[in-house]
Chain A
Amino acid sequence: MTLRLGTDRPLLVPFLTGGVTADWTDYLLAYQEAGADAIEVGLPFSDPMLDGTTIQQASDQALTRGATVEAILHELAAIRGRLRVPIIVMAYANLVLKVGIERLAQAGVSGLIVSDLPLEESAELESAAAAAGIDMILLVAPVTPDDRLRQICLRSQGFVYAVSVMGVTGERTTLAPEAEALARRAKLLLTEPGVDGSHAGSRDDENPVQRLPVLIGFGVSTPEQAAVAGRAGDGVVVGAALMRRVLDGASPADLRREVGALRAALDQGVSTATPYAEISGDRG
């Protein structure tokens, strides 16, 4: 999975809980039309330890509807022809270990995020993912120390997921200040020679296309926050804010507008001058 980086705009990855409604795949298509660069599909789990109320409710609603991992993957595969953007599955370790990486690959999934699988536990899954051609996207947190951050950046594929807050998923009134600091640290490390395999080891290569993008997720709730996060990182993952609308009964067309607003804010947030100079500078 290659997320385009270094063009004129930050990346947007909206999230949807798989199976949350009968027409859930229509939301994926709406996200795509609104300009998503990739889409994160959450597998509903009985024990969502890292999720706040909204995504817990979405998970509960999906499971109560009878959504299963198998059915979700089946429906994903069924719309594969119409989905051009990469699909990234976000799941808890127990579901992934049961369903197996192979099955995800068959369904056309190109990336995987496992919320409760830190570096120490992920080696096995990483090699299985590599064999299946799935990118393992690893998470970093505000408390991740630099040496560990370096290791995670080294091993992450697709992008580096910067968890913006010390907390669970869910909307916040402002973007946590530690989000920007974390994104800055991660980006700095990723430009070190040898940290990012795709960087080709040349330090004076200023072209950011050559390194992994850093996406800020957890708590990015409004277009304004997305714009800020888009400047601090290379893009955003937006989950709870969208899922709350879905739970409230908003239609795919409504969500298309929501994601469109995020898209516009992100694009405008960095639309002037040379974006990457700004990002690595003190503008945030």
Chain B
Amino acid sequence: MTLATQRGMRDPATGGRFGSFGGRFVPESLIPACAALEEAFRDAWTDPGFRQQLDLFRAVHAGRPTALTPAWNLSAELGITLLLKREDLAHTGSHKINNVLGQALLARRMGKTRLIAETGAGQHGVAAATAAALFGLRATVYMGERDIERQALNVFRMNLLGAEVVPVTTGSRTLKDATNEAMRQWVANVDDTHFCLGSVAGPHPYPWMVREFQRVIGEEARRQVAAELPTGVPDVVVACVGGGSNAAGTFAGFADTGARLIGVEAAGGAAMTDGTVGVVHGSRSLVLQNAEGQIAEAHSIAAGLDYPGVGPEHAHLGESGRAQYVTVSDDEVLIALKRLARTEGIICALESAHAVAWVMRAAGTDELPHGSTVLLTLSGRGDKDMAQLQDQPIMTEPPAGLQADLPAGRQAGLQPGGQAGLQPGRQAGAGAGRVAS
């Protein structure tokens, strides 16, 4: 166990295993395609030319590196030092762009002319449509009928980008069914089509490959945090977990340090907490299911976390004890989203607000004692959620707790980087001050 802490997040063992999780549970028809993809990725990932190309597009198209923002006011209120890794500032509004740029470049390298993708919230679909437009690939995005209703604006964005959005009308008509449909279409079109999977799930090599494409979050954050904190690494690293790609990418930058890794799931879609071992969408992991193995539907206010499974590497990190997984409720998420908006001037995605909500709840407890330093990945921006939030009473009528908290923070005369703000997070103080001055 202690060794596991120092080992970090390694490449999977043969066959795509992370401990007893992972693997390649796909129909025989897809085995050659998965094998070819694995080989192409291995080849590309060790090719400096490919890396350079990806770095270029990350910089000039996606706007990387993304900023690290000290959450001065919220830090002061919570008595911790909270640093935000701003994936919300990446092009298309979330970390999903990191993965699709990598996969689209790889698809092109493999001679594929078309991308297919599954999407829930539509963020991955938008990112895939974006990369397809950029690299001259055709794109088809499969999306559950129910999600299409919930995320109409993202459907429009995908269409505007030239992608075809195909409604999935079977099963629960959400992300898991869209994923099934994308797999079916992949089987039938494997010659010219790359399946651009959106998270660290699916058959080998996807969980590993997507983590590697998202690793840029953790690596940038590691450098940025080192410049902020005298200790070099934060005490805690936290990210929200749907399939687990922004968390995996973040954790990859810190797994070999002493930092505690915390993944935050939606209470209604918590495969790590409530799931049991199962095989879905091509890998063995933890999944919400009944005793017979029928996959359950997840329920979260955040469409991007409405997924009954979780990436196999998270199941492994959880089992080995290297990472810890917690849940927050929809109500906590709404409060957190609003509080971050009011304290820091950042409207984050509902998904990302899960991570914020855990920090708010844990701060000052044994889970996250006063004075702790925290790196939190803000996986996306909230624009996509505004229509949905307009209907939430909590957004127009702030709960009592929130109102009481705000003046307390304000009365302390906190300014970004101001001394009062730095007091609780002493260690970060100097660094945060540097940023502000």
Contacts and interface: CB of A to CB of B under 8 A. Distances in A.
Interface of A: 45-53, 56-57, 60, 63, 68-70, 92-95, 97-99, 115-121, 138-145, 148, 152, 163, 165-168
Nearest to B32: A143
B127 to A, nearest CB: 23
B423 interface: no
Contact of B293 (A52, A57, A60, A98): A98
Interface in B285-321: 287, 289, 291-295
Interface stretch (B182-190, B326-334, B365-373): B182-190
Interface stretch (B20-28, B102-110, B156-164, B242-250): B20-28
A124 to B, nearest CB: 11
B171 interface: yes
Contacts of A143: 29, 31-33, 190
Q: Is the interface of B mostly helix, strand, loop or mixed?
A: mixed
B180 interface: yes
- List the 3 closest A-B pairs by CB distance, nearest first: A98-B293, A167-B188, A141-B29
Nearest to A63: B294
A178 to B, nearest CB: 11
B403 interface: no
Contacts of A50: 27, 184, 187
Given A98-B292, A141-B29, A168-B184, 13 more contacts: A47-B281, A92-B279, A94-B293, A94-B295, A95-B293, A95-B294, A98-B278, A98-B291, A120-B24, A120-B31, A166-B187, A167-B184, A167-B188
Given A45-B294, A69-B292, A167-B188, A94 B278 contact: yes
- Which of B24, B25, B176, B280 has the largest count of A CB atoms less than 10 A from its CB? B25
Nearest to B289: A94
B170 interface: yes
Contacts of A115: 27
How many residues of B sit at the interface, in one of the four size bands?
A: 20 to 34
B19 to A, nearest CB: 15
With a 10 A CB-CB cut-off, give which of A46, A47, A52, A57 has the most chain B CB atoms. A47
Nearest to B184: A168
A52 B183 CA distance: 11
B413 interface: no
Nearest to A138: B28
Contacts of A92: 279
B15 interface: yes
A140 B31 CA distance: 10
Contacts of A57: 170
Contacts of A94: 278-280, 287, 289, 293, 295
B282 interface: yes
A139 B28 contact: yes
Contact of A48 (B24, B29, B180, B278): B180
Given A47-B295, A98-B292, A116-B26, A166 B190 contact: yes
B27 A141 contact: yes
A165 B29 CA distance: 9
Interface string B24-67: 11111101110000000000000000000000000000000000
Contact of B15 (A116, A120, A138, A167): A120
Contacts of A144: 28, 31-32
Counting chain A CB atoms within 10 Å of each CB, the highest count among B23, B177, B292 belongs to: B292
Contacts of A121: 15, 23-25
B294 A46 contact: yes
